[in-house]
Homo-oligomer: A and B are copies of this chain.
Amino acid sequence: MTLHYKKEDIIAAYERVRQRIHKTPVLTSALINEMAETKLYFKCENLQKAGSFKIRGATNAILQLSEDEKKKGVVTHSSGNFAQALALAARDLFVPAYIVMPDNAPRVKVDAVKAYGADIRFCKNTQTERVRAMEEWQQETGATFLHPYDNPHVILGQSSCAYELLNQVSELDNIVSPVGGGGLISGTALTASFFSPNTNVFAAEPKGADDAWHSFNYGKIFPSENPQTIADGLLTSLGEYTFPVIRKLVSDIYTVTDEEIIEAMKIVWTRMKIIIEPSSATSLAVILKHKAQFRDQKTALIISGGNVDLNRLPF
């Protein structure tokens, strides 16, 4: 897969989605800056519609469909933030949405998808069953399958987050973002490469799901196998569209333990009064672990989402 993205693609995606999403605030905390011995800027996609950056990619991908495709709807399988985001984006654009969810998906996520008016079908939680159920439904409806991250329109949609960020904070030395399937980090790296080439982009990954670290360092996609981490948004493997962008444009990938993630998450909740999910805390955990690397620089962290079950907090 070649890197055929152009500067204009990123601007066009931003213009396409901007009226349909929140322009999320960039927050700062003097106390966390003192703690990290540097200047940090938190891009709050947890405050985004449907609680994560995923609405950007979902919206951009739907808007690229033909009128006929829109009428037939979109289908995906997801237990996570993309399910909610696609459901909401589809509703806002009057497009039917069919979401396959594993039968052990958290109740709060199922309820959210329902609240956005999407149709849901449940299946056993294996990759094979999820794909089978999705393809069956796709054939019945003629809906277009939208992959949660391994889709160029989804990646370009996610790139709008960093595009917004670069207009909110100037002269960033670094951007740190979590990596799961790689949609957010590849969109971020693409945007930085075009609009702020002196900004380094780093990925943060849980040690218990470090397939991206292996893929990045060994030069081929290592599938995520039996990942064990509290960061439930980062369990997926890199894809054929996300991997080459990451390999070429990301400066490095750092891993952190679940203990470090929980500690960082607690710091943000306590000091900044915002609810962030464990996946989003990986970036701050990386910065606190590698202080020397980031000291006295301007570093933005993308807080990817805030969808946590308040009845199951890790502290």
Contact = CB atoms under 8 A, between A and B. Distances in A.
Interface string A129-163: 00000000000000000000000000000000000
Contacts of A306: 273
Nearest to A28: B22
B275 A269 contact: yes
Interface in A278-315: 306-307, 310-311, 313, 315
Contacts of A22: 27-28
Interface in A25-47: 25, 27-28, 30-31, 46-47
Contacts of A28: 22
A272 B315 CA distance: 20
Task: Give the size category of A's interface with B.
Answer: 20 to 34
A308 B108 CA distance: 23
A181 B212 CA distance: 54
A80 to B, nearest CB: 15
A12 interface: no
Contacts of A30: 49
17 contacts: A22-B27, A25-B27, A25-B47, A27-B47, A46-B273, A47-B272, A47-B274, A51-B273, A269-B275, A269-B310, A273-B275, A273-B307, A274-B274, A274-B275, A275-B275, A310-B315, A311-B315
